[in-house]
A = this chain, B = another copy of it.
Amino acid sequence: MTKTRNINSTIDDLFSRTTIVPRRAFLGMGAAISAATLFQASETHAVGVKTSKANSLPVTQEELDYMRQAIDLMRRAGVVDRTGGPFGAVIVRDGQILSAEGNSVLRDNDPTGHAEVNAIRAACKKVGSPHLTGATMFTSCECCPMCYATSYWAQIDKVYYAASWQDYKQYFDDGAINADMCNHKSQRKIRMSQIMQAEAQEVWSEYGRLADRKNY
């Protein structure tokens, strides 16, 4: 099958294009070069790793393989097994795959069954923590606001994504949710109203007085 690639250059495209760095060349840079140096945003790094735009990240062949796996899971979830929409995600830390999941919204009747949320929950279970500090997520499609916020709570460090919201907005309008969430509370799609604030503030006072409170 063939498909004409969308060549529209949106602002987001300009910001997010990534230069592929051959794995051997990348690894050959040597351990002395810190990751911080490699990943900082600039046109050309001191060691010659060219990145096309600010905020783009260099990528190795190994990382491309993780994304291939995410796209395989995407196809399986949405086209083959039909457990939900076509979305797949892989989470990696220190060269180890912590989880690899597809979307399961339809199979599980679970609106949170997005590939990224499924992968984050599975990875957290594996490592025995609600946090995945330092982990990278490879997701077949741009994170929706729920998945981005979940990644934030989970302390995911980096996200590589393949398809853009624009590529599937006729099926899932993630951009509309994002726009809604940037509106003032009074203008949101879901109507919200505050009641009994004082009663809940009392519980926060009790929580604040706990001597052995576990912050997270």
Chain A positions near chain B (C-beta within 8 angstroms): 1, 3, 5-6, 11-13, 15-18, 20, 39, 54-57, 59, 63-64, 67-68, 71, 74-75, 78-79, 82, 84-86, 105-106, 109-113, 117, 120-121, 124-125, 127-131, 140-146, 148-154, 156-164, 167-168, 171, 177-178, 180-182, 184-186, 188-208, 210, 214-216
Pick the most buried of A5, A149, A184, A207: most chain B CB atoms within 10 A of its CB. A149
Q: Is the CB of B110 within 8 A of A181?
A: no
In the complex, which residues of chain B have a beta carbon less than 8 angstroms from the beta carbon of A149? 144-146, 149, 177, 181
Contact B159 A192 (CB under 8 A): yes
Structural contact, A164 and B194, CB atoms closer than 8 A: yes
Closest B residue to A131 by CB, please name it.
B111
Whether B105 and A112, one on each chain, are in contact in the complex, defined by CB atoms closer than 8 angstroms, is no
Which residue on B lies nearest to A126, using beta carbons? B109
| Top-8 shortest CB links A-B | A162-B200, A146-B149, A163-B200, A57-B193, A16-B194, A145-B149, A15-B186, A55-B186
